[in-house]
Amino acid sequence: MSEIRTEYYRDGARKAQQDPVLQSALAAAQSRIGGATAKAYMDFPEGPGLRLLGHDIRMKAIENLDILLETLVENIQKKGGHVHFAKDGREATEYCKEIALSRGVRRVVKGKSMVTEEIGLNSALMEEGIKVTETDLGEFIVQLAGEHPSHIIAPAVHKTRREIGKLFSEKLGIPYTTDPPTLTQAARKALREEFLSADMGISGCNLACAETGHITTVSNEGNIRMATTLPKIHVVFMGMERIVARLEDHDILLRLLATGAAAQKMAVYVSYIGGPRTPGQQDGPEEFHLIILDNGRSRILADEEFREILCCIRCAACLNVCPVYGKIGGHAYGHTYCGPIGAVLTPLLVGVNRAKDLCMGETLCGACQAACPVNIDIPRMLLSLRAKLADGDPQWSVTRSSLMEKAFYMAWAGMVRDRRMYELALRAVSGAQKLLPRREGWVHRLPPPFHGWSIHRDMKPVSGKSFIRRWSETHGRRGEGGNEPR
Amino acid sequence: MNPGDNKEFIRKIRLALGYRSQGGRTFSGVFPDGRAEESVELIRRIKNRGPDERQWLLARLIEEAKALNMMVVPVKDAQSAAKQIAKVAQEKETEWGGPKRVIAWEHPLIERMKLNRELQKKGIPLDFTIPGPAGMGTDMVRERVIASYIGVTSAEFCVASSATLVMKTRPGQPRSVSLVPTIHMAVIEQDQIIADLRELYALLKWDPYHKEEGLTNCMTFITGPSKTGDIELILIHGAHGPKELYLYVITG
């Protein structure tokens, strides 16, 4: 999804909440996966504290990323793999296109990869007349429907079996059915043909290992193994932060990933791939290309306030517990990354002002951090983004999102620091609110610019008397405190 | 792309981290191989496991595998494993039509099983992925693996705590045998069962044999049969990989 639609967050969120099918799908997904993950963290032999260890491993890797990438590249080149660095999405897609065109590639099969969504790889290849097939079942469904994923690991979570049945009968020519096993078998058959005829397989990379020089792929379906075993060429897209130093770091991180993603002890398939087929081997690709992508990540790395977000291992645990994602789904976020992780990452990647609603929309409840397998402090970074929006920030080219809001809060700050002004304002508001419509004694609607606060709730009327004044009336003027108004 | 661009890329990361150069940091300096000594000690313990502990690990593996719909079958010797495989081969039908055909790794353990004899009794042909000029080349492996409904492999290890098979790709042991056929059957000896990932990574890194060989260009962990939950979160086996996974453990 190279197209950025973060400006339509409010519209998307509203529509999602009016969609009863989506609402029940989201509720089911959250109640099934969210709870199971929380329980699974308790079942680690090391206890839930393993998350903190995971955080430390990731953070240390991020803080020495230059060294890790150099080591990885050296080790992969030793095994005959090619490595390309791409500073942005355009460069990355150009490399891939060049490889495809120079080798006459006509058909590409893809394993699920968020980073290729981020850079809009599919459309770039399709423009060259190359057939690109997503092979993760959820991605395949979403691609057939001409949509985008709405969840990082369950891309078609928003679609019902009826919709999928209808889609498959139209596009795959099978009799209409709502039976999930039959639908899965139909996709298995259609995609097997794609795997067997593809010239190129494309995958992402979960966590590369610098020490040994391998990328890793993780899946439950086996589609990534198919896509990286059968075609002659394997191209990997890796966000530059997706790496660890030592092989044994995977002991902790693979378990955290599987638990965070689906409350599993291990994913069904984990592959370490370090280069092309070697002499004597009888399968696997002849060419192996690794494309390491920056695309805005080094800018995040440079800011110590946000560096931590690069620890993310894309398990989607935060989506499965977020009260906001649970109501608005993934599409409303308007870009590849949705949910709490998207609410931080997307503004940093596409522009904070442009994606301001994403970080403003979250609740700061903290559920995401508690669910995160590497304990990323997402609420802290949401607050930092909001502070930038309130005050502006030249480093991130953020302009103040609302001058009026700023003016209002400055006036408010001045007022609450002056006792006399405060009392005066209280009396003025308590008088003025008599003009507002009421329901059962509560203020039913506020006037602009405050009307947003009363859309979904009534407000208690403001008392004309401050607490201090009331206290001194009921407890006598010379109480313990010395702050009473004179 | 020229190497200068790579340098520029790394330089940009360095600057972002606040370094002008490597700053005296080296890979092994920043990330010391901390577990070396304890790993060697751990491997010694693994290799000297007593029968009780090995029995316990097998029990643990069976229990973990059950939750994954992975069949773990203890057998007393290699020939019994072959008999069991032939029995299942007879019961199961092919998924994509065509005659029944089995493909197996060239591997000393599988050789010992005399699988060919058992399958012949049922009239099912068996191919071994023999490497080298006289054996199967890439095209033939591909063709046979696609035509086979059962793939038979061994494994390096099986991790009991998560029921994870660990397999390396070598000449004679192509990765597609555990992937493309509808049913995957693996055969290991009981002492290949290890407790957890910690033991696994210690062995992969510090056991002299594996240290020398490295991970190979493709090492795969397999934990249960292929599965998906992408349609309304309903669990279905056999999304793309094998629908069924059998593990025969030779207890001796």
Does A345 reach chain B within 8 Å, measured CB to CB?
no
Write the residue in A67, A223, A302 that is nearest to B27 by C-beta: A67
Per-residue model confidence as pLDDT tens digits over B230-242: 999 999 999 999 9
Q: Which of residues 278-337 of A touch B (CB under 8 A)?
A: 278, 280-284, 288, 292, 294, 298-299, 301-302
Amino acid at A291: I
Chain B residues closer than 8 Å to A210 by CB: 27
Q: Tokens for B47? A: 């290799």
CA A352 to chain centroid, in Å, comes to: 15
Q: Which amino acid is at A167?
A: L
CB–CB contact A184 B169 (8 Å): no
Distance from CA of B24 to the nearest CA of A (A): 11
Query: Are residues A283 and B145, on separate chains, in Cβ contact within 8 Å?
Result: yes
The whole-angstrom distance between A352's CA and the closest CA on chain B is: 19
Answer yes or no: is B170 within a domain: yes
Q: What are phi and psi of A32, to 5 degrees?
A: -75, -50
Q: How many domains does chain B have?
A: 1
Per-residue CA distances from A262 to A30, A339, A376 (Å): 11, 16, 18
Distance (Å) from the C-alpha of residue B99 to the closest C-alpha of chain A? 18
Cα separation, B202 vs B40, whole angstroms? 7
Do A137 and B239 make contact, defined as CB atoms within 8 angstroms? yes
pLDDT at B131: 96
Of B1, B218, B230, the CB nearest to A141: B230
pLDDT on residue A401: 87
pLDDT at A37: 96
Span B94-142, pLDDT tens digits: 999 999 999 999 999 999 999 999 999 999 999 999 999 999 999 999 9
ipTM of the complex: 0.97
Q: Which residues contact A98 (CB under 8 A, 6 or more apart)?
A: none
Question: Does some domain include residue B39?
Answer: yes
Give chain B positions within 8 Å (CB) of A267: 223
Residue of B10, B146, B225 with shortest CB distance to A66: B10
> How distant, in Å, are the alpha carbons of A69, A86, A179, A243 from that of A239?
11, 10, 37, 9
Which one-letter DSSP state was computed for residue B171? Answer: T
Q: Is residue B2 part of a domain?
A: no
Distance from CA of A339 to the nearest CA of B (A): 19
Domains of chain A with CATH codes: 44-295 (3.40.50.10420), 405-475 (no CATH)
What is the spatial distance between Cα A226 and Cα A426, in angstroms, rounded to a whole number? Answer: 69
CB contact under 8 A, B217 and A281: yes
The tens digit of pLDDT for each residue in B6-26 reads: 899 999 999 999 998 887 899
Q: Which of B47, B58, B106 is nearest to B250 (CA)?
A: B58
User: Which of left, alpha, beta for A386 (phi over 0: left; psi -120 to 50: alpha)?
Assistant: alpha
**Judging by DSSP bridges, how do beta strands A269-273 and B218-222 pair with one another?**
antiparallel
Pairing of strands A131-134, A215-219: unpaired
C-alpha count within 13 angstroms, C-beta hemisphere, residue A215: 31
User: Which of A30, A56, A59, A66 should we substitute to test contact with B (largest number of B Cβ atoms within 10 Å)?
Assistant: A66
- What distance in Å separates the CA atoms of residue A141 and residue B76, rounded to the nearest whole number? 46
The residues, any chain, with a CB within 8 Å of residue A94's CB and separated by 6 or more, are none
Give the model's pLDDT for residue A60: 98
What element of type H or E holds B166?
strand B164-168
* Residue B21 resides in a domain: no
Which residue is listed with tokens 């999405």? A89
For B248, the 3-state DSSP assignment is: strand
- Give me the residue from B26, B218, B242 closest to A273, CB to CB: B218
The yes-or-no verdict on residue B5 having pLDDT over 80 is no
DSSP track, B77-108: SHHHHHHHHHHHHHHPPPSSSS---EEE---H
The three-state (H, E, C) secondary structure of chain A, written as one string: CCCCCHHHHHHHHHHHHCCHHHHHHHHHHHHHHHHHHHHHHHCCCCCCCHHHHHHHHHHHHHHCHHHHHHHHHHHHHHCCCEEEEECCHHHHHHHHHHHHHHCCCCEEEECCCHHHHHHCHHHHHHCCCCEEEECCHHHHHHHHCCCCCCCCCCCCCCCCHHHHHHHHHHHCCCCCCCCHHHHHHHHHHHHHHHHHHCCEEEECCCCEECCCCEEEEEECCCHHHHHHHCCCEEEEEEECCCEECCCCHHHHHHHHHHHHHHCCCCCCEEEEECCCCCCCCCCCCCEEEEEEECCCHHHHHHCCCCHHHHHCCCCCCCCCCCCCHHHHCCHHHCCCCCHHHHHHHHHHHHCCCCCHHHHHHCCCCCHHHHHCCCCCCHHHHHHHHHHHHHHCECCCCECCCCHHHHHHHHHHHHHHCCHHHHHHHHHHHHHHHHHCCEECCEECCCCCCCHHHHCCCCECCCCCCCHHHHHHHHHCCCCCCCCCCC
Residue B19 falls inside a structural domain: no
Cis peptide bond N-terminal to A347, omega within 30: no
Which 94-133 residues of chain A touch chain B by CB within 8 A?
Answer: 95
- Per-residue pLDDT tens digits for B213-227: 999 999 999 999 999
Q: Are strands B164-168 and B218-222 parallel, antiparallel or unpaired?
A: antiparallel
Tokens of A337: 């990354």
Closest residue of chain A to B218, computed from CA coordinates: A273
Strand arrangement, sheet containing B126-128: B71-75, B244-250, B183-189, B150-153, B102-104, B126-128
Residue A483: the pLDDT is 55
Q: Do B30 and A64 touch (CB under 8 A)?
A: yes
User: Residue B179 gets which letter from DSSP?
Assistant: T
B5: closest CA of chain A, how far (Å): 7
Across the interface, whether the CB atoms of A184 and B239 are under 8 A apart is answered yes
Dihedral sign of CA atoms B40, B58, A46, A380 in order: positive
Q: Which residues of B touch A63 (CB under 8 A)?
A: 17
Across the interface, whether the CB atoms of A68 and B27 are under 8 A apart is answered: yes
Whether A20 has its CB under 8 Å from any CB of chain B: the answer is no
Q: State the smallest CA–CA distance between residue A70 and chain B in angstroms.
A: 8
Q: Report residue A167 as tokens.
A: 């889609």
What is the arrangement of strands in the sheet containing A131-134, beginning at the earlier edge strand? A82-86, A287-293, A233-239, A200-203, A107-110, A131-134
CB contact under 8 A, A266 and B141: no
pLDDT of residue A2: 59
Who among B138, B216, B228 is closest to A221 (CB)?
B228
Q: Mind telling me how many Å the CA of B93 is from chain A's nearest CA? A: 16
CB-CB under 8 Å, A154 with B231: no
Splitting chain A (486 residues) into consecutive groups of 10 residues, what average pLDDT does each group show? 84 96 94 94 95 98 97 97 97 97 98 96 97 98 95 94 97 97 98 98 98 98 98 98 97 97 97 97 98 98 98 97 97 96 98 96 97 98 97 95 88 92 90 91 89 89 87 74 51
> With bands split at pLDDT 50, 70 and 90, how would you rate the model's confidence at B1?
very low
Distance of alpha carbon A64 from alpha carbon A246, whole angstroms: 13
Residues on chain B touching A185 (C-beta within 8 angstroms): 238
Inter-chain touch B231–A265, beta carbons under 8 Å: no
Give every strand in the sheet of A215-219, ordered side by side: A215-219, A269-273, B218-222, B164-168, B157-159, B193-194
- The CA distance from B92 to A253, in Å, is 38
Identify all chain A residues contacting B169, using CB atoms and an 8 Å cutoff: 281, 283-284
Position B111 scores a pLDDT of: 96
Do B89 and B114 touch, CB atoms closer than 8 A? Answer: no
Range of the structural domain that residue B226 is part of? 26-250
- Please report, for the domain that includes residue B170, its CATH number: 3.40.50.10420
Provide the shortest C-alpha distance from residue B126 to chain A (in Å): 17
Cβ of A69 within 8 Å of Cβ of B13? The answer is: yes
In a domain, B90, yes or no: yes
Of B132, B197, B241, the CB nearest to A222: B241
Spatial CA neighbour of A221 closest among B229, B107, B173: B229
Residue B11 lies in a domain: no
B16 falls within a domain: no
Chain A residue at shortest CA distance from B171 = A281
CA-based torsion, B183, A185, A197, A137: positive or negative: negative
- Whether A85 and B19 lie within 8 Å, measured CB to CB: no
Q: What is the DSSP letter of B1?
A: -
Tokens, residue A299: 């800018």
Test A226 with B180 for CB contact under 8 angstroms. yes
C-beta atoms of A64 and B142 within 8 A: no
Q: Quick one: which H or E segment has residue B5?
A: helix B3-17
Tell me the two tokens of residue A176. Answer: 């209409």
Say whether A85 and B240 touch across the interface (CB within 8 A): no
Which positions 39-68 of A are in contact with B (Cβ < 8 Å)?
45, 60, 63-68
- Looking up tokens 């620091």, which residue turns up? A417
